[in-house]
Amino acid sequence: MSNLQRWWLSPPRAGLHRLINPWEYRHLRTLGFTRIAGGSVAAAAGVVCLACGVYGWAAFFLVIAGLNLAGGCWYITIARSTST
């Protein structure tokens, strides 16, 4: 097995968890909260853009916010399920 493949498969994980970078998988709780904080900042930027009438940028920031919030919740859910 090549070194890259060996690195990617450690720590052992199953299913969709393999999509997560191994370094991120080792720090799921911290990175989950970081993603949620980033998503909150992006949502605030989207709301400001909506208030100013810049709808294209508002849509961009709100989509980024939604993806970050969803990813952060997913990371925290995985961390919670593996710690018990």
Q: Tens digit of pLDDT for each residue in 44-80?
A: 999 999 999 999 999 999 999 999 999 999 999 988 8
- What whole-number distance in Å separates Cα of residue 82 and Cα of residue 46? 34
What is the structure's pLDDT at 69? Answer: 98
| Mean pLDDT along residues 18-39 | 89
Number of helices (H) and strands (E), helices first, in the chain? 4, 0
Query: Which is more confidently placed, 82 or 77?
Result: 77
pLDDT surpasses 70 at 8: no
Q: Which amino acid is at 65?
A: A
Q: Report the run of H or E that residue 81 belongs to, with start and end.
A: helix 55-83
What tokens appear for 32 in the block?
Answer: 């989950």
**C-alpha span between 73 and 79 (Å, rounded):** 10
**Taking Cα atoms as reference points, which of 20, 23, 22, 13 lies closest to residue 72?**
20
